[in-house]
Chain A
Amino acid sequence: MNDSKPTPQTQSGSPIAPLYQPPGGAPPSIGKPGEYPFTRGIYPSMYLGKMWTMRQYAGFGTPEETNARFKYLLQGGQTGLSVALDLPTQLGYDSDAPEAAGEVGKVGVAIDSLADMETVFDGIPLDKVSTSFTINATAPILLAMYEAVATKQGVARERIAGTIQNDLLKEFGARGAWIFPIRPSLRLAVDAIEYSIDRLPRFNPISIASHFRDAGATPAEEAAYTLSDGVAYVKACLERGLDIDKFAPRLSFFFYTYVNFFEEVAKYRAARRLWARLMRDTFGAKNAEAWRLRIACVCGGHSLTQAEPLNNIARTTIETMAVACAGLQSVFTAAYDEAFAIPTELSARTALRVQQIVAYESDVAKTVDPLAGSYFVEALTNEMETKISTLMDDIENQGGMVRCLEEGIIQRRIAERAFEYQRDLDAGKVPVVGVNVFKSEEPTPMAIHKVDAASEQAKAAAVKKLRATRQQAATTQALDALEQAARGSNNLMAPIYDAVMAYATVGEISDRLRKVFGVYIPSTTF
């Protein structure tokens, strides 16, 4: 901490200490912040040292439109970028593919080739921002593009910072944005991790994500499934021959936070403790950084309602307060109109303001782990730890997460939970204001973001033009080399990087890999 900073005070003039603990220190299961088992947080001074990263998910339409939105958000005080990509980009289709009809630029920006990535980051120096990409099946391609843009900007690749989600397992369990079958998907994920360890030292090559929650899982199940995915990646990296003390510190996590304030705080504290023990004791990691569970999160998701949308601002405020009390590293607050469409400038700015108000107007960031020692929170933390641990053991006993996903065990459990929840909601057992209690019939007047229908045609025309004007021989050669490599067992990042540099498109690269790996066949059970 900077010595010249005034000591934080309450409004009544009492000093606020950076850390409170019982005389003689907390019991070992709670410990100290920054120390094993990290129940109280992964850094000693937490937000007093560095405020959490405020990272709003954004992106829509054409690369030009997204570039403008990014500049708007950065000027508004946002501290990291988070790129939303459209579904064709996520699933390996170009903007002019028949499968992409009606989906181009809708839920995120359409990226067809390196040229689009150059436009998205035009005028944004990549050594000054960190960028997160919610990208999975095509993560290796997008990672290669980002590195290529940095190189073209003259930024050394060692200096670029950010995250690719690159978590394929949860796509099979909950989010549904897969391309290839489970095993080759896992291979590609590990390829990106292996590639990044030395080459991109400031980049998180995976963000193991908890979309299970938004699909219906309870908070304990959410944590158990997500950490079990973590275990599956650890095992896959070990099988690849990677050093746990080098790759484990690079694993990052992403969770969902809803309005159940205390349970959320307990969930995060319990998850940190559990992961630390797993990494140190079960996997034998020696590097203390490998024991730390670094967590980003979204506040919103399924907790937000379409009814009386402005109520969602109150919900995300409570959720942001929870993650601030829980000591998370990076936060995305969803906009109040999330249940309608992607955000407008007003709703996006308001969502960022929610975080800024919690961070700078409330006192939550002035002392570390402010709820520690609460009888309720500590009891709940222990209870959550037991529940998560039992569920994880159950998964291990059934052959681990990959096996459970292949068998559809997790998918069925989540679908049952979602159905149970909906019946409870309909029966009024779960109160949701504006939905089943305190309803009003009056609609809220609201402006909704609308994607320009002309963007899709413009984007489709642009990718056709790119294919006609690039040096085709070089592109074909790079794609052939990639396909050849995919048939073997070498890391595919280098040939993907070469294909990207030759302006091969996301669709073309994915098609070559589909040819070798095949595609996943989804289940139709419910």
Chain B
Amino acid sequence: MADPRKIRVLVGKPGLDGHDRGAKVVASALRDAGMEVIYTGLRSTPEMIVATAIQESCDVIGLSVLSGAHETIASRTLELLRAQGADIPILMGGVIPPEDRTRLAALGIEAIFGQEATLQEIIDGVRQLAAKKEAVQ
């Protein structure tokens, strides 16, 4: 198999919540799976996340939110991406009640991984989204 370009993923921790255990674990797993991972650290704003994702030519954005602010953050990030004409798929993880998942999907969030998702499931999810993006372009 030809060595494809490394998948580039932005892992972001938007909002005010400081619980970054999940974000760091996912970032490490994606790195070990051979991807290029950019972690933006705590309290990254949607503005900063979108600017970095575009600048770094990211294929996928992963957002971790545990504070209940997921809808506000998802809307804002998608709005900024669209305004920039950037088509970068977003997946989310964290504490997200099941009933909010359909609303997030309707907003345009491509995938949501709950607390019990395995690292392999997340790696596969990122690969699928990156492949889908590649196919569209």
A106-B68, A415-B24 known; 9 new pairs, CB 8 Å cut-off, are A103-B72, A106-B69, A107-B67, A175-B19, A302-B21, A340-B98, A342-B68, A415-B25, A443-B98
Q: How far is the CA of A451 from the CA of B31 in the complex (A)?
A: 36
**Chain B residue total in the interface (Cβ 8 A):** 38
Q: Are the C-beta atoms of B15 and A103 separated by less than 8 Å?
A: yes
| A contact patch SS | loop
For the complex, what is the distance from the CA of A448 to the CA of B97, rounded to whole Å? 8
Interface presence of B109 (CB below 8 A)? no
A525 to B15 CA separation, bound complex (whole angstroms)? 18
Instruction: Give the chain B neighbours of A523 by CB distance below 8 A.
Output: 41
Q: Is the CB of B15 within 8 A of A423?
A: no
| Contact residues in B for A175 (Cβ distance below 8 Å) | 18-19
Contact B28 A419 (CB under 8 A): yes
Contact at B40–A524, with CB atoms within 8 Å?
yes
Q: Is A339 an interface residue (CB 8 A)?
A: yes
Residues of A within 8 A of B73 (CB): 102
Residue contact A340 to B97, C-beta cutoff 8 Å:
yes
Residue of A87, A100, A101, A418 touching B24 (CB-CB under 8 A): A418
Within 8 A of A (CB), among B35-92: 37, 39-43, 67-69, 71-73, 76
Q: Using a CB–CB distance below 8 Å, which chain B residues touch chain A?
A: 11, 15-21, 23-25, 27-29, 31, 37, 39-43, 67-69, 71-73, 76, 95, 97-99, 114-116, 118-120
Q: Contact: B18 with A526, CB < 8 Å?
A: no
Q: Which residue of A lies closest to B42 (CB)?
A: A522
B72 x A216 contact (CB < 8 A)? no
In the bound complex, what is the Cα–Cα distance between A340 and B115 (angstroms)? 9
Q: Which A residues, 20 to 75, have Cβ-Cβ distances below 8 Å to chain B?
A: none
Tell whether A103 pairs with B69 under 8 Å between CB atoms, given A175-B19, A526-B27.
yes
> Which secondary structure dominates chain B's binding surface?
mixed
The complex places the Cα of A41 from the Cα of B137 at a distance, in Å, of 66
Q: Could you tell me if B97 and A419 are in contact, using CB atoms closer than 8 angstroms?
A: no
Within the complex, the shortest CB–CB distance from B73 to chain A, in Å, comes to: 6
Asked if B17 and A87 sit within 8 Å, CB to CB, the answer is yes
8 Å CB interface, A472-526 against B: 522-526
Q: Is A177 an interface residue (CB 8 A)?
A: yes
Contact B118 A103 (CB under 8 A): no
Q: In the bound complex, what is the Cα–Cα distance between A415 and B28 (angstroms)?
A: 9
Given A88-B16, A171-B18, A415-B28, CB of A524 within 8 Å of CB of B41: yes
Within residues 263 to 316 of chain A, which ones have a CB less than 8 A from any CB in chain B? 302, 305-307
CA distance A175 to B116 in the complex (A): 21
Chain A 332-347 interface mask (CB, 8 Å, partner B; 1/0): 0000000111100000
B41: chain A residues within 8 A (beta carbon): 522-524
The answer to whether A222 has its CB under 8 Å from any CB of chain B is no
Interface string of A89-108 (1 = CB under 8 A from B): 01101000001111100110
Which of B17, B21, B29, B69 sits near A215, CB closer than 8 Å? B21
Determine the chain A residues whose CB is within 8 A of the CB of B11 once the complex forms: 526
Task: Select from chain A the residue with minimum beta-carbon distance to B19.
Answer: A176
Chain A's closest residue to B31 (CB) is A526
Cβ of A200 < 8 Å from any Cβ of B? no
Bitwise, A153-192 to B at CB < 8 A (1) or not (0) is 0000000000000000001000111100000000000000
Contacting B115 at CB < 8 Å: which of A87, A106, A306, A451? A306
